[in-house]
Amino acid sequence: MPALSGLDAAAELADVWESQAAPGTAFPALVFVTAYDHYALAAFEAHAVDYLLKPVQPARLDKTVAKLKQALSNHSQPALDFETTLAQLRGLLTATPLTVSPPLKVLQVSVGTAIHLLPVNEVLVFEAVDKYVQVLTANHAYLIRTPLKDLLPQLDLAVFWQIHRGTVVNVTCIDAVTRDEAGKLSVSLRGKPGKLAVSRLYAHLFKAM
- Coil, strand or helix at 51: strand
With bands split at pLDDT 50, 70 and 90, how would you rate the model's confidence at 119? very high
Contact 86, 92 (CB under 8 A): no
The pLDDT score that the predictor gives to residue 7 is: 72
Q: What is the pTM of this model?
A: 0.71
Q: Across-strand partners of 128?
A: 133
Contact 135, 118 (CB under 8 A): yes
Contact 136, 169 (CB under 8 A): no
Domains and CATH numbers, the chain: 6-93 (no CATH), 106-206 (2.40.50.1020)
* Residue 24 CB partners (closer than 8 Å, separation 6+): none
The pLDDT score that the predictor gives to residue 78 is: 46
**Beta strands of 120-159 (E only): which ranges?**
125-129, 132-136, 141-144
The mean predicted confidence, pLDDT, of the chain is 81
Higher per-residue pLDDT: 59 or 6: 59
| The pLDDT of residue 191 is above 90 | no
The pLDDT score that the predictor gives to residue 8 is: 74
Checking 64-70 for CB contacts under 8 A at 24+ apart, the result is: 64/31, 68/29, 68/31
- β-pairing, 106-111 vs 114-119, is antiparallel
